[in-house]
Each structure stands twice: as structure tokens, then as C-alpha cells.
Amino acid sequence: MSDEGEDSPRRLCAVVHGVDHLSSARHPQHPSRGPLVHLLLRALRLVGCDRSVARTLMPSPCLESDLAEYHSADYVSAIAEVEEEEEEDDEDVDSLDPMPAKKRRRGAETGKGGIDIFLVDIAALLALPAPSPQAPSENMRQYGLADDCPPFKGMMKYCRAVAGGTLTAAEALCAGHCLRACHFEGGRHHARRDCAAGFCYVADVVLGVMRLTRKFRRVLVIDIDAHHGDGVEEAFYHSEKVTCLSLHMYGKGIFPGTGTETATGSAVGRHRTVNLPLRSGCRDDAYRRLFRTVAEAVRREVNPVSIVLLVGADALHTDPLGELHLSEECLLKCVAQVRDWGLPTLVLGSGGYDERTAPRYWAHVTALMADDGTRWPQRDHSGTDLVGSEPEDYPPGLVAGLLDTSEIPPEVGDEAFERLCGGAGAERYCGLEVPKPPPAGGRDPNGVEYIDYLIHYSVNNIAGGSTCFAKTPRRC
Ligand SMILES: [Zn+2]
């Protein structure tokens, strides 16, 4: 961290980024997502080399005792029931790559040494089979380790890596090493103290918030993943230090089935939970109006000292599991709004199940978070020029990275870039093609009246006022 001067824009943003971390943090349901995200971040020089706009945070796995700061001892024991993998990841990678592991590591850490060894390592990770699910024991079933969270070999290593990455990012913020820290493998917001749920094995968000509260008195968690952040809400429902704001799909059959606007916190945490439930098919205009108004009201009332922002890519209209019809541009405007508050911000990935659009979205999030606010003009949030802007509006270092793919080694293979670009090759990405917006026409099922109601209800709630309304709430 000592290589950065006080005024360096790289002080602004850091990204948890490392091959060993990505190897351990591969999720059985979407094992390629993490490697593809970091392949793109690296290829765009957003992180990991001398000219990148964000600095690298080298994570280390946390200890089981760190997990036990929130999780019950019984849950940690259930996770530990699965036999751990031998130290075989390196061997698997080596079998696909003739370069000795030590040399690879040296290259990955320094970003030097001819070709970018990190990219070669990531290509090898992408070629590995997914961690295979195992049959759950009766004990594991009690703790949710079945169905959408099946046990798998390396599960404890996975949990320690994911929580370790989030804690590394949180500690960098507490130490003042950067203003914004991103960990895209984190954001597992459905995990509970003693139960896995919704693809989430470890409550890294809760652990990260707990770590932040050691330094920052008031933390605001903003969750724009498509699903309700039920695990995080549960952890802080009675807390006055931590406020949770979640925008999410809500309706019959939609996971997890919680997150109505009437859940507003309890005891000293009353009025410190804000839920904005949306009907499937929500579109940009309604979402932006709701977010812009309510997020500002929450910030004003709570006066947070630090932010945790969950940028689940399943809110994109391209996601196979999400049912919101939001463009990347819409979500990035929400991210930029939070960034412009200028507060220490922990950015976590959470959901996102389309392996083309999640990496692109998070590359854009990283670019936004790395912006120093002086080289990139301030934006009018009501405008539309944020993403549709010309490339010269991006920080100079980023433009060079976007336009120059000459240093991407051919050894990485076209296949990985094909997967990112939908078959059109790496060059197409360099044009920063943004996913198509939802088709024109058709009405947002969240009408103006319903959005007005949500704004009225939530602004009143966060101000600590009565939440009695003459109008009967129109429910999803
Ligand atoms: Zn989600």
C-alpha cells in the first residue's frame, strides 16, 4: 500500500484480486463467473498492473474463528463435516499450464514478466470442472446444506475464502488504505447465522459489516441485487448502528418471499430497515425514481459514516433468474449516486447468473468506483450521459486499457473472451457494448401510483414517523 501517494487516484479504489482466492472461491453453481470477472478486470487494466486505475488487495482466507464471530459453532461444524480438498488446485492448474507454480505466483503478484501470467492462470481455472456436489448428511440438511446449497468438497475452504475476501476489503477501508473496496465474490446476503440458503453458504456481508462497525459508527447497507437481502436484514433488524435498504422483486413464488415495506426494524432498530418490494418486470424509470428519492432520504436521516453496496447482477434484464427489466445504465446511475456521497464504501457482488453481462457490469462498477471525481466530470444524475457517453469521458488510463488488447497473450485463448462477448471476440468488448435495454413499449407493472406509495411509506418510515396511511397499500 505504501506505493501510492496521498493524491493518487488509485487510493480511491481497491479490488480483491488473486488467483488463489479465485480458485478457492469458485461456487459450484456458477464456477466460471469469478474467473471471468477478473479476466475482464485484468484485461481492461482496471486492476492488477502498473497502469491500472484500481489497486490490488491480496486477500487471505479467514479463520474458522472469524466465521464464528457471526455463525453458530454448530453451523461451522456442519460446514467442516465435508472432507477438505487436498492442496490439489495448484496441481490441477499446473497440469493445464506448463509454467511452474512459483513463477506464476511471482508474475501474478507483480504483474510483470512478459505475458500476463494472471490471465493464463485464469484461463486454466476456467477449464477446470465445477466443484461437485455431495450427498448431504442428515445433520447438514438441518443447516440448509442441501438442495440449492449442496455440500461440496472444499466447502470450508470456499467459505473461508469468501469471508476472507470481504474482511480484507473491510479492513482496508477501516485502515484508510482506500476509499472504496470491491469484492465481487462476496455479497452472500441470504446466508443466516445457522443456515445456508439461496446459493449462500457464508454470511460474508454480515461479517464485513461487523468489522466495519468497529471503526465506523453508522453503516448503511444498500442492496440492489434482484432478491431481498433477508440474511443481512435478520442480522441487523434490532440494530440502530446498521441500516438496511433493499430494492428487490417480491411476489408469489419469488425467492426468498420476504421484504415487504412493512418490515421496518424492531426495538432500537425500528425505522432502520427499509424495504422496497417491486413487481416482476420493473423498468428503469420507476426504479431510478424510487432509488434516487429513497436513497437520498435514507442518507439524510441516517447520516452513515460508511456504506456497504451490494451490486447483484441478477437485477439486469439479461439475467436468467432475475425478473427485473433493468438496464446496466440504470443500475450504474444508482451506483454513481452512492459513490458521489464520498463515503468509505465496501462493494460486494452477490447474485448474477449470466456470465457475459455480470462481468461487464462489474467492470463498469469498478471503473466508476476508481474514478477520482476530478478527471471525470461530475454527472447530473437525472441525465442520461453516464454510460452512453463517449469513451473519452472515462479516466485516461481506462481508455487506453479499453482500446488496447495487444498485450493480452494469445495463450489465454479466444474461448474465454468469446464467452464474455457472446461469440464476437475480444474486439467487440473494447467498444464497451452495453447490453440492450429492455424492449420499448409495454407498461411497468409497478405503476406511478405504487412507486409514489413506496416513496411516501419509506421516507416516512426512515424519518421515524407513523406509517399509517389512509390509502390501502397496493401489494404485489
Ligand atoms: Zn439475487
pLDDT average, residue stretch 149-162: 96
Residue 357 has pLDDT above 70, yes or no: yes
Report the separation in Å between the CA atom of 349 and the middle of ligand 1, taken as the mean of its atom positions.
10
Percent of the chain with pLDDT over 90: 58
Residue 143: what pLDDT? 97
The residue with cell 406511478 is: 448
Q: Who's near 134: CB < 8 A, 6+ residues apart?
A: 82, 150, 151, 152, 153
- pLDDT digit string, tens, across residues 230-279: 999 999 999 999 999 999 999 999 999 999 999 999 999 999 999 999 99
Question: pLDDT: is 336 or 387 the higher one?
Answer: 336
User: Does residue 398 register a pLDDT over 90?
Assistant: no
Query: What are the chain's domains?
Result: 9-462 (3.40.800.20)
For the chain, the average pLDDT equals 81
Q: Which of 284-288, 395-399, 465-469 has the lowest mean pLDDT?
A: 395-399
- Is 177 in the active site? no
Nearest in space to 295 (alpha carbons), one of 466, 474, 465, 462: 462
Rg of the Cα trace of the chain?
21
Residue 381, pLDDT > 90, answer no
Distance 37 CA to ligand 1 centre (A): 17
> Residue 447 C-alpha to ligand 1 middle, in angstroms?
23
User: Is residue 396 over pLDDT 50?
Assistant: no
Note residues around ion ligand 1 (Cβ under 5 angstroms): 225-227, 312, 314, 351
Helix ranges, 11-116 (H): 19-24, 33-43, 64-67, 73-80, 89-96, 101-110
Q: How far is the C-alpha of 34 from the C-alpha of 239, rounded, in Å? A: 32
Catalytic residue among 71, 183, 190, 227: 190
- Quick: pLDDT tens for 28-76: 999 999 998 998 888 777 888 777 889 999 999 999 999 999 999 999 9
pTM: 0.85
Q: Residue 376 pLDDT more than 70?
A: no
Give the per-residue pLDDT at 461: 95
At residue 86, the pLDDT reads: 63
Q: Assign 120 a pLDDT band (cuts: 50, 70, 90).
A: confident
Q: Tell me, letter by letter, the H, E, C secondary structure of 321-375.
A: CCCCEECHHHHHHHHHHHHCCCCCEEEECCCCCCCCHHHHHHHHHHHHHHCCCCC
Which of 121, 13, 37 is closest to 358 using CA atoms? 37
